[in-house]
């Protein structure tokens, strides 16, 4: 099968959606499909074999350090992605377009005139995400939801990563829904290496609450800190361990932890590779 995969984010980076796309490409390459991946300019180059080609959009230098979630930079990158995707679709006999998140709108625009079906890989609901990040955009929520329903309705299939997104796809009139819940990347029987865990070098001995993520506000890190501040007096030897995040976010949340009175019991480890997760959990 010939596939055009639209991945509207830096690739590869060790964060949620790029990790999922990496797993998808490994599976498609193993199956023997031919895949053209169109993604952003920044990211680590990975080799999936001769059948997978990585194409990167060309953008001005200021369009870098693209964070997860909606942003003006991301919107501009998508604007550069659309004509590149159209060019690839006209030049190659694709059987299907696999569109991640908002790239479904690009896939719909270029796929319909060329008769190429598309799959909507739904890792989040963009209208809700935009409204949460930009409160001033809430009046536009009905219009954004209507656009999302169009992308859902016209897709050959919607791949949802959780029941809530499957419900949105169902309400939007999806022709077919595949529910692929996120799974653990930690092998059940893999040996742990204490030297790469969080207890080594921190002096932590008691119970720990562990968070692994990118510290984006939509993940609820503010609530986590506030909740731990309320629970901390009841479990006096408990600590909060936070793995992941950018330096500026870590600094901001370290300040918030101090203001909540839990600065001494909150440990920020910084970014850790996916391969270290097994050691953090044990």
pLDDT, tens digit (0-9, with 9 covering 90-100), for 28-47: 999 999 999 999 999 999 99
| pLDDT of res. 192 | 57
In a domain, 57, yes or no: yes
pLDDT band for 167, please (50, 70, 90 cuts): very high
Higher pLDDT, 195 or 26: 26
pLDDT value at 126 more than 90 = no
Q: Is residue 188 domain-resident? A: no
Report the candidate in 123, 53, 109, 44 with the shortest Cα–Cα distance to residue 81: 109
Q: Say if residue 152 is in the same domain as residue 227.
A: no
In a domain, 185, yes or no: no
Confidence band (pLDDT; 50, 70, 90) for 182?
A: confident
Where does a domain end: 179, 205, 239? 179
Are residues 66 and 164 located together in one domain of the fold? yes
Mean pLDDT of 114-141: 88
On whether residue 184 sits in a domain, the answer given is: no
**Reduced to 3 states, what is the DSSP secondary structure of residue 150?**
helix
Selected residue with higher pLDDT from 196 and 242: 242
For residue 47, tell me if it sits in a domain. Answer: yes
Residues of the chain with pLDDT > 90, as a percent, come to 63
Q: Over range 221-236, report the average pLDDT.
A: 93
Q: Examine residue 113 and state whether it is found in any structural domain, yes or no.
A: yes
Q: How confident is the model at residue 134 (pLDDT cuts 50, 70, 90)?
A: confident
- Whether residues 7 and 142 fall in one domain: yes
- Say if residue 105 is in the same domain as residue 163: yes
Token representation of residue 172 = 């939007």
**Is 157 in contact with 120 (CB distance < 8 Å)?**
yes
Domain shared by 11 and 129, yes or no: yes
Give the per-residue pLDDT at 118.
98
Q: Same domain, yes or no, for 238 and 146?
A: no
Length of the chain: 282
Q: Do 200 and 267 belong together in one domain?
A: yes
Tell me: do 131 and 36 sit in the same domain.
yes
- Same-domain check for residues 134 and 94: yes
Domain boundary among 155, 179, 203: 179
Q: Is the pLDDT of residue 274 over 80?
A: no
CATH code for the domain in which residue 230 is found: 3.40.50.2000
Looking at per-residue confidence, does 187 or 112 come out higher?
Answer: 112
The arithmetic mean of pLDDT across residues 105-120, rounded, is 96
The mean per-residue pLDDT over the stretch 238-245 comes to 90
End-to-end CA distance of the chain: 41
Residue at a domain's end among 179, 214, 244: 179
Q: Do 17 and 124 belong to one domain? A: yes
- How far is Cα 44 from Cα 190, in angstroms, rounded to an integer? 26
Both 151 and 211 in one domain: the answer is no
**pLDDT value at residue 173:** 94
Q: Is there a domain that residue 63 lies in?
A: yes
Reported pTM: 0.82
Q: What angle do CA 129, 170, 163 make, to 5 degrees?
A: 60
pLDDT at residue 253, rounded to an integer: 95
Q: Is the pLDDT of residue 200 over 80?
A: no
- 125 shares its domain with 10: yes
Token code pair at residue 82: 């659309």
Q: Print the domain residue range for 22.
A: 2-179
Inter-residue long-range contacts of 174-179, CB under 8 Å, 24+ positions, other chains counted = 174/120
pLDDT averaged over every residue in the chain: 89
Q: What is the mean pLDDT of residues 131-153?
A: 88
pLDDT band at 277 (very low <50, low <70, confident <90, very high): confident
Q: How many domains does the chain have?
A: 2
Classify residue 121: in a domain, yes or no: yes
């Amino acid at each position: 099968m010939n596939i055009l995969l639209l991945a509207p984010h830096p690739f590869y980076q060790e964060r949620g959606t790029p990790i999922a796309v990496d797993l998808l490409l490994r599976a498609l390459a193993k199956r023997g499909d031919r895949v053209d991946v169109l993604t952003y300019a920044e990211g680590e180059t990975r080799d999936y074999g001769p059948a997978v080609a990585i194409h990167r959009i060309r953008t001005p230098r200021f369009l870098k350090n693209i964070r997860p979630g909606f942003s003006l930079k991301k919107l501009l990158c998508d604007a550069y992605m659309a004509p590149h995707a159209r060019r690839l679709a006209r030049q190659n006999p694709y059987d299907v377009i696999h569109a991640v998140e908002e790239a479904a709108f690009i896939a719909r625009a270029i796929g319909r005139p060329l008769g190429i079906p598309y799959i909507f890989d739904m890792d989040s609901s963009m209208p809700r995400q935009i409204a949460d990040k930009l409160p001033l955009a809430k009046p536009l929520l009905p219009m954004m939801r209507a656009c999302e329903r169009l992308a859902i309705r016209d897709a050959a299939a919607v791949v949802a990563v959780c029941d809530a997104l499957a419900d949105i796809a169902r309400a939007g009139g999806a022709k077919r829904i595949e529910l692929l819940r996120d799974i653990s990347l930690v092998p059940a029987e893999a040996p742990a290496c204490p030297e790469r865990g969080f207890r080594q070098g921190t002096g932590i001995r008691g119970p720990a609450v562990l968070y692994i993520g990118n510290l984006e506000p939509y993940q609820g890190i503010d609530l986590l800190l506030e909740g731990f501040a309320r629970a901390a007096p009841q479990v006096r030897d408990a600590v909060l361990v936070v793995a992941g995040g950018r330096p500026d976010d870590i600094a901001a949340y370290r300040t918030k932890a101090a203001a909540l009175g839990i600065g001494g019991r909150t440990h920020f480890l910084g970014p850790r590779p996916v391969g270290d997760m097994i050691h953090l959990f044990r």
